[in-house]
């Protein structure tokens, strides 16, 4: 079995102070995908760069944004990947949006999708990123790879995926154009693994820090682990770890048979 956890930590240095390393030692995933790390590697403690697990030390890979304290992705791997890369598209790589670990037959992607921002100020950039990501996944499949696209997509796909869909129809993360792209993505043969296993409402991965939203479970499900349809038979579990504190997002976990 291989376990992959994805988590938008909203600042890895802040998360470290809130018990991140202790959580990692307990959970011990085979691969950890992080988003919104907000730091360069040289700013991190040795414990974050070389975190221990019971069988050794994780190999860690960091893709930081050029802008300090912004965006950023990372991968922690027990087994060394065959290759680690970005999308090789400067406008997205410069913001540290994507890091990919290629293993035999499976490519695991840690992606931090842009926020479209108020009044859709960055919607064009967001949709360009989404289109590039679909092309990227399709190209990987043509190379013979299965896809596990992990991360904060910054999109709630369907009304079930947020607490107040009607009130948020013109808000970033639930704009019609964003939901339409999720339709396009899933219709292209990519599967939302959580919904493959769970059709229940009130399942969220992000809560505002305001209005005691997390206590009241007034949230959004905007973090996903999507796979190509051919990978579905290998899946064992896709779950949300809403009880894990340390960020405004919670981790999500995927387990598959090797």
Write the pLDDT tens digit of every residue in 229-251: 999 999 999 999 999 999 999 99
- How is residue 43 annotated by DSSP? G
pLDDT at 40 over 90: yes
Which residue matches tokens 């360009």?
A: 128
SS3 187: helix
Helix residue spans in 28-66 (DSSP H): 46-49
38, 42, 249 from 77: Cα distances, Å = 20, 19, 21
CB 183 within 8 A of CB 190: no
CB 149 within 8 A of CB 137: yes
Q: Kindly report the backbone phi and psi dihedral angles of residue 20, in degrees, each rounded to the nearest multiple of 5, phi listed first.
A: -55, -45
Domain count, the chain: 1
- For the packed helices 176-187 and 123-142, what is the interaxial angle rounded to 10 degrees? 10
CB 211 within 8 A of CB 218: yes
Which residue matches tokens 């950039």?
A: 125
Q: How many whole angstroms separate alpha carbon 157 and alpha carbon 155?
A: 6
Percent of the chain with pLDDT over 70: 100
pTM of the model: 0.97
Q: Which of 228, 255, 196, 226 is nearest to 113 (CA)?
A: 226
DSSP string, 120-161: GTTHHHHHHHHHHHHHHHHHHHHTT-EEEEEEE-----SGGG
End-to-end CA distance of the chain: 6
The CATH code of the domain that includes 237 is 3.60.10.10
Q: pLDDT digits over 141-170, tens only?
A: 999 999 999 999 999 999 999 999 999 999
Please identify every residue annotated as catalytic. 152
4, 78, 196, 198 from 186: Cα distances, Å = 21, 30, 12, 16
Q: pLDDT digits over 180-199, tens only?
A: 999 999 999 999 999 999 99
């Amino acid at each position: 079995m291989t376990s992959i956890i994805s988590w938008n930590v909203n600042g890895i240095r802040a998360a470290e102070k809130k018990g991140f390393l202790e959580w990692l030692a307990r959970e011990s995933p085979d691969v950890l995908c992080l988003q919104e790390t907000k730091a360069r590697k040289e700013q991190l403690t040795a414990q974050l760069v070389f975190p221990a697990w019971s069988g050794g030390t994780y190999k860690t890979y960091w893709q930081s944004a050029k802008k300090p304290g912004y965006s950023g992705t990372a991968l922690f791997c027990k087994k060394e990947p065959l290759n680690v890369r970005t999308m090789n598209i400067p406008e997205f790589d410069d913001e540290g949006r994507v890091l990919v670990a290629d293993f035999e037959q499976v490519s695991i992607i840690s992606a931090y999708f842009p926020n479209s921002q108020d009044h859709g100020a960055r919607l064009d950039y967001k949709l360009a990123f989404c289109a590039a990501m679909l092309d990227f996944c399709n190209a990987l499949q043509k190379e013979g790879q299965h896809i596990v696209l992990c991360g904060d997509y910054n999109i709630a796909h369907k009304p079930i995926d947020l607490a107040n869909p009607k009130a948020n129809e013109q808000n970033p993360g639930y704009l019609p154009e964003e939901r339409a792209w999720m339709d396009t993505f899933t219709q292209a043969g990519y599967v939302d693994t959580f919904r493959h296993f769970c059709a229940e409402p009130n399942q969220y991965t992000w809560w505002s820090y305001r209005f005691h939203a997390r206590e009241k479970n007034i949230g959004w499900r905007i973090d996903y682990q999507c796979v190509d349809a051919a990978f579905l038979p290998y899946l064992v579990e896709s779950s949300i770890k809403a009880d894990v504190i340390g960020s405004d997002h919670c981790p999500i976990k995927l387990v598959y048979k090797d």
